């Protein structure tokens, strides 16, 4: 039986192949061979790019042409690069899946796939492995902040849908954990104010300002691309900081902490006052500056206006002095034994809240949500 051979060229490398072997294994390569042969050629040239390496493409073509080995010792990078080649050239991943099973088990048992998480999520997607996909995507959602391509900068070929779903899930988890922390602490704002202020100040100093709304903490400004956020912590780290805050017990006679009021935003501080068209800032400035203007401008009643202006300035000065004294008294309040006992009560309850939340754990993505994408890109 005569076999018609065809040549495939990748850069300076070439191989003689039997075209029929690519039927059912690589839709894209098979179609390109068919088009070249219809045009009268016996050579198909395949180009590499930043996503598909030459070595991975050579391995893919060789194995399809000669037969896929039952076992082959691949490194993690080689597994990922092979997965990218399978994805790009619309291959059937099933015959290749046995090559990654043992390596997958090794990586999953290690439980420290932080660097490989993005690549392993993609590989699990290609080979339709639900548990591995859920685990790898969970790491990306709970343990990272930067975009997936930023985490693994040399792995560019990741589906935009996968990146988008990870980012959406991470935003949702950031909001969820922030609300969890904020709401648990604010319960004690009145009943145990000293404990509330100490914990809140600690959190604020470490980038978790519970005076914010959850969306303000988790969502970036619209004009800033993902991967350039000012969010200081990933969701898992937020729980760790919360736990540090409640185990940081105050010392006897240590000055008490006080969480100040949140700084007003530009929009709120310059919003119009009711009906007169003037901003609140302008109104406040004019009311204060009026105290220092000539009495004739404030009142047409001569000396009466002057006396009123002096009285106003005197009362304002006294009020400022009293406010400063109250602030000084607050600033020198110290922790007493009863205060520390109350803090310990609050800390005990919050530690239990944190334990329960950790027990619930974090969730990864469901691979079933990506089956339409797989059918579009793979021969399945």
b/e map 105-136, b = 16+ CB within 10 Å: eebbeeeebeebbbbbbbbbbbbbbeebbbbb
- pTM confidence score: 0.73
Q: Return the pLDDT at 3.
A: 61
Q: Return the pLDDT at 263.
A: 53
Tens digits of pLDDT across the chain (380 residues): 456 889 999 988 999 999 999 999 999 999 999 999 999 999 999 988 777 889 999 999 999 999 998 888 888 888 889 999 999 999 999 999 988 876 665 555 454 555 678 888 899 999 999 988 998 899 889 988 766 555 555 456 788 899 889 989 998 999 999 999 999 999 999 999 999 999 999 999 999 999 999 988 887 554 444 444 456 788 999 999 999 999 988 998 888 888 876 654 433 333 343 444 444 344 333 333 333 333 333 444 455 555 666 776 777 777 777 777 666 655 568 899 999 999 999 999 999 999 999 999 999 999 999 999 999 999 98
The C-alpha torsion from 201 through 203 and 206 to 208, rounded to 10°, is -120
Q: Return the pLDDT at 266.
A: 38
Q: Return the pLDDT at 120.
A: 85
Q: Return the pLDDT at 70.
A: 82
CA angle 367, 370, 375 (to 5 degrees): 120
Q: Return the pLDDT at 225.
A: 46
Helix (H, G, I), strand (E, B) or coil at 277: coil
Q: Return the pLDDT at 243.
A: 96
- DSSP calls for 106-155: HHHHH---TTTHHHHHHHHHHTT-HHHHHHHHHHHHHS--S-HHHHTTT-
- Is residue 12 within 8 Å of 18, Cβ to Cβ? no
């Amino acid at each position: 039986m005569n076999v018609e051979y065809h040549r495939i060229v990748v850069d300076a490398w070439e191989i003689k192949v039997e075209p029929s072997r690519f039927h059912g294994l690589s839709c894209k390569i098979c179609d390109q061979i068919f088009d070249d042969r219809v045009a009268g050629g016996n050579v198909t040239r395949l180009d590499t790019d930043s996503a598909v390496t030459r070595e991975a493409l050579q391995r893919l073509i060789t194995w399809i042409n000669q037969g896929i080995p039952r076992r082959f010792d691949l490194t993690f990078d080689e597994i990922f690069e092979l997965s990218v080649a399978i994805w790009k050239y619309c291959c059937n991943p099933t015959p290749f899946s046995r090559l990654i099973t043992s390596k997958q088990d090794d990586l999953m048992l290690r439980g420290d796939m932080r660097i490989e998480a993005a690549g392993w999520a993609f590989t699990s997607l290609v080979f339709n492995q639900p548990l591995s996909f859920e685990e790898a995507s969970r790491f990306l959602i709970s343990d990272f902040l930067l975009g997936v391509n930023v985490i693994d900068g040399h792995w560019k070929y990741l589906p935009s849908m996968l990146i988008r779903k990870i980012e959406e899930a991470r935003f949702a988890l950031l909001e969820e954990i922030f609300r969890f922390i904020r709401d648990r602490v604010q319960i004690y704002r009145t009943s145990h104010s000293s404990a509330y202020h100490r914990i809140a100040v600690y959190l604020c100093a470490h980038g978790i300002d519970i005076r914010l709304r959850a969306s303000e903490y988790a969502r970036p400004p619209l004009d800033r691309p993902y991967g350039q956020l000012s969010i200081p912590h990933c969701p898992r780290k937020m729980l760790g900081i919360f736990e540090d805050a409640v185990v940081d017990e105050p010392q006897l006679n240590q000055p008490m902490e006080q969480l100040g009021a949140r700084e007003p935003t530009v929009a709120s501080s310059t919003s119009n006052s009711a009906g007169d068209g003037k901003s609140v800032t302008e109104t406040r400035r004019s009311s204060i500056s009026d105290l220092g203007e000539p009495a004739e401008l404030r009142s047409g009643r001569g000396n009466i206006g002057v006396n009123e202006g002096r009285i106003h300035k005197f009362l304002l000065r006294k009020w400022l002095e009293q406010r400063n004294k109250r602030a000084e008294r607050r600033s020198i309040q110290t922790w007493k034994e009863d205060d520390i006992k109350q803090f310990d009560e609050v800390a005990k309850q919050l530690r239990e809240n944190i334990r329960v939340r950790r027990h619930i754990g974090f969730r990864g993505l469901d691979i079933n949500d990506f089956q339409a994408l797989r059918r579009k890109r793979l021969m399945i």
